[in-house]
Structure 1
Amino acid sequence: MSSGCATTTSTRSISLSGRGFASGTVTRRAYPFAWMGTVEFMEFGGTCDPQDAGLDPDLLTQAIELIETRGTIAQLCVVRDGRVVVDRSFGCPPDALFWLFSASKPYLAVVIHQLVESGRLHLDDAVAAYWPEFGENGKREITVRHVLRHRSGVTNAGSYVGEVRAMTDWNRSLQRIEETKPRWPIGTVAYSPLAFGFILSEVARRCSGVPIHELVRRFVLEPLGVADTYLGLPDDLWDRHVPIRATGPLGPFIQSVVNRRSTREAVVPAAGMSTTARDLVTFYQALLGGALLRPETLALACEPSSEGDVDRTARAPIRWSQGFQLGGPRWIEGASTSLGSLSSPRTFGHNGSNCCIGWADPDRQIAYAYLTNRVGRPTADLTHHAAVADKVLEAAG
């Protein structure tokens, strides 16, 4: 056992060690798609003194109090310089499984960038080069990069409600996408909630021969040694899922769909990951630590693709890259603050319906995962998530 906040000396490893943490084995594996780095497997079991990680404990306490006051089921994990400083569950055990909504998208993005590293996929290829039927109805010029950047113009396949109802039926979802026309001109910044996932996943399947849930498992989850993340919840883990509590005009509809067993068990690549805060923070710490993607690939993945452009779906500026949302919103009037208004411009991550959020800040060397089961009023929920993130960021000075 470590008596303090120990970190590994390897520059290519993921360290999650700290007081009360048991160190696992270090392995190097060969994978056909990408160099994965060296992954050091750790077990969660305690936290290090925040001051040893350069964080103000009083401000971290304030972040926790914001969550406690809100009164929802939640988990919060914060890692600084490879050391776990916050590992808290609120109203649930640490292995409770949360539905990530769109905070699922970075897992898919990482797989796409791994395929690029392997030479099996090129971002500037047309989607129709891999999936000819996609090119129908004015979509022939849409590239893989357009989709990653939310610039394909294909925001929904038909109506939003219809798309949500079809999302558990893979073949029907693909058919709807083939039949749809772009809602916006190609190149327009317009967030794609669900079609994003089906398009990229079908491209990945066609160029690799492997379905997306298997790609995520083999080339993201297994290398990290995480055991509580699933794209499609296994039947025998249903008792561990956390039901969503949604309010507002769409609340009953959201609850009826997302809390349905068939939804949680389906492969919905843009929104359907079930996981814990511990596993999500491990994913982001891995990316900070140089695993999963080569440094130059991660830099490309995090290169800004929109700066101040109003997203036609969100009706606000969002800093997008190639599969991630980016931080640094305070320099752009009216920009989304879901990753924290104090986040650095190099912060990368993703918001999931103002319900679940994960991100990594390379400048502060912080990995962060905050999962909840509440979908309410967007403005209030966004304000809450930004406030919690900002307390953590402020704690770093």
Structure 2
Amino acid sequence: MSNVASSPGLSGLPTGVGGYAVDGFGPLVRTFARLVGGHPGGGGALTVLRHGEPLVEIRVGDCAPGREWGPDTGSIVFSATKGIAATVIHRLADRGLIDYDAPVAAYWPEFAANGKERITVRQLLSHRAGLSGLPPIARGIDDVLDHRLMEERLAAAKPDHLLGIPTYHALTFGWLLAGLARAVTGRGMGELFRTEIAEPLGTDGIHLGAPPVGSTTTAAILLGNRLAPVGTTYVSLVLGRAYGFPGAPGAAARALFLPGLDAFLEGDIPPILATELPAGNGVCTATGLATLYSPLANEGMIAGRRFLSPCTVKAMRRIESYRLDHALFYIPMLWHMGYHSLPMPGARTGFGHIGMGGSFGWADPGTGISVGFVHNRLGIGSIGSDQLASAWVLPLVVRGARAAHRTTTRTDRRAA
């Protein structure tokens, strides 16, 4: 792996880091090398685009034991998948096939069951449908792996007492959007990820589940103890009893936990890769995620082509809810329709989606910058710090972009 950047970028990258970064991004690259590459096992990648042009494309570490992370290495990005699934719905809305304020049942008649006839697409996209709980629709991992069954059970389900209140639909979000999209197009989300996202964007770095045979993307192996501690008898018992707790603990347990679900991530080719889970099993490269968010940061345009109309992009940028989220222990997520903003430096004016473990995609319309960050470390011991990756990536991206702009301006003046 080369550790030297091409001119006119940084004169050198830290040992073990491959790829490219323009002048000004030294602090970002060094922090990436330390926090992502500074641990035995595992690796990751980071891409920053401005108006679709690469500023940073770096990678470090291993995607499997003894195999270095490459430019076409992807990783399971968990809930960052939600931003991709939401973009599918926005593409359909952009063509007039879906109205955000129409009832979901207008497109998916079965969804009207059990008092859901007035729930709108906008509510669905902003985690306010009252359908966040797993226990009412699934008994175990076999049910969860059957995505068509999950769509059918959610169509028949009764909303809970949190209908209308922001409550993170951790897993159900994806099946709800898939059921809506299937009702409108007759196609599943796996196919729509390809036809509505990857192909129009010209990228092979975005997949739902395992990349197909012939894809250039290879899925990194998850490294760490994954969620094994959650599967112990004692922890499962406690979390199972938490279903009935009032407030955030109960809402979180119902949205995030099901006995046996820890087995979802076991093995070099975990079961999660064998289904369509539009809330959590996207396999993406860093460049694939950054490419997805590039038109969202640039008025719907990518490489001179229109991906979304300015009107739709404006709707996507709007914050739908300022209320604290009940299933995320009252974190102020600032929900958009399928994405979120964060009240922290570098993230206030942008939007995107962060996944479990910290992988994320992001758009900043104010600067035209899009970001993709992926890695394959997943362990209970490190998940807290890894989850906060955006807290150092995004501020350093903003800082680097400003420094790169100043450098470019000085170079242009000298050339003139």
Q: Deviations over 1:40-76 (max 9, x none)?
A: xxxxx963523xxxx3423432333222224432111
Matches within 5 A, 1:331-346: 341-346=344-349
Residue 195 of structure 1 corresponds to 172
For the residue of structure 2 that corresponds to 1:269, the secondary structure is coil
CA shift, 1:251, in A, is 7.0
Q: Which runs of 5+ in 1 are unaligned?
A: 6-17, 20-44, 330-340
Residue 35 of structure 2 corresponds to 66
Q: TM-score, normalised by structure 2?
A: 0.74
CA shift, 1:214, in A, is 2.1
Residue 340 of structure 2 corresponds to residue 325 of structure 1:
yes
Matches within 5 A, 1:210-359: 210-234=187-211, 236=213, 240-244=218-222, 245=224, 246=226, 249-250=229-230, 256-259=263-266, 260-289=269-298, 290-291=300-301, 292-307=307-322, 309-315=323-329, 316-327=331-342, 329=343, 341-359=344-362
Question: Which amino acid in structure 2 is aligned with residue 97 of structure 1?
Answer: G
CA shift, 1:255, in A, is 5.8
Q: Distance in 2 between matches of 1:160 and 1:77?
A: 38
Residues 63 and 391 in structure 1, CA contact (< 8 A), matched pair in contact too: no
CA shift, 1:374, in A, is 2.4
Q: Distance in 2 between matches of 1:119 and 1:104?
A: 24
Q: Distance in 1 between matches of 2:138 and 2:183?
A: 28
Residue 395 of structure 1 corresponds to 400
CA shift, 1:300, in A, is 0.5
The aligned length equals: 341
- Cα distance change on mapping 1:77 and 1:162 into 2, 3 Å: farther
Question: Which amino acid in structure 2 is aligned with residue 349 of structure 1?
Answer: G
For the residue of structure 2 that corresponds to 1:75, the secondary structure is strand
- Cα distance change on mapping 1:237 and 1:73 into 2, 3 Å: farther
**CA RMSD after TM alignment:** 2.9
2:388 corresponds to which of 377, 383, 387: 383
Question: Which amino acid in structure 2 is aligned with residue 272 of structure 1?
Answer: N
- Cα distance change on mapping 1:231 and 1:247 into 2, 3 Å: closer
For the residue of structure 2 that corresponds to 1:114, the secondary structure is helix
Residue 104 of structure 2 corresponds to 127
Matches within 5 A, 1:136-147: 136-147=113-124
For the residue of structure 2 that corresponds to 1:354, the secondary structure is coil
Question: Which amino acid in structure 1 is aligned with residue 285 of structure 2?
Answer: T
For the residue of structure 2 that corresponds to 1:367, the secondary structure is strand
- Cα distance change on mapping 1:234 and 1:394 into 2, 3 Å: closer
CA shift, 1:143, in A, is 1.1
- Cα distance change on mapping 1:185 and 1:262 into 2, 3 Å: closer
Q: TM-score, normalised by structure 1?
A: 0.77
Deviates more, 1:159-168 or 1:143-152: 159-168
Q: Distance in 2 between matches of 1:237 and 1:263?
A: 20
For the residue of structure 2 that corresponds to 1:392, the secondary structure is helix
- Cα distance change on mapping 1:60 and 1:88 into 2, 3 Å: closer
Residues 60 and 392 in structure 1, CA contact (< 8 A), matched pair in contact too: no
Residues 110 and 293 in structure 1, CA contact (< 8 A), matched pair in contact too: no
Q: Deviations over 1:238-294 (max 9, x none)?
A: 993222231573278666313455431322122121121121111112332323211
Q: Deviations over 1:99-144 (max 9, x none)?
A: 1111011222112112112221111121222222222223222111
Question: Which amino acid in structure 1 is aligned with residue 360 of structure 2?
Answer: I
Residue 363 of structure 2 corresponds to 360
Matches within 5 A, 1:93-108: 93-108=70-85
Q: Distance in 1 between matches of 2:231 and 2:73?
A: 22
Question: Which amino acid in structure 2 is aligned with residue 361 of structure 1?
Answer: D
Residues 228 and 263 in structure 2, CA contact (< 8 A), matched pair in contact too: no
Q: Which runs of 5+ in 2 are unaligned?
A: 1-5, 11-17, 63-68, 233-259, 302-306, 403-416
Residue 26 of structure 1 corresponds to none
Calculate percent identity across the aligned residue pairs.
30
For the residue of structure 2 that corresponds to 1:250, the secondary structure is helix
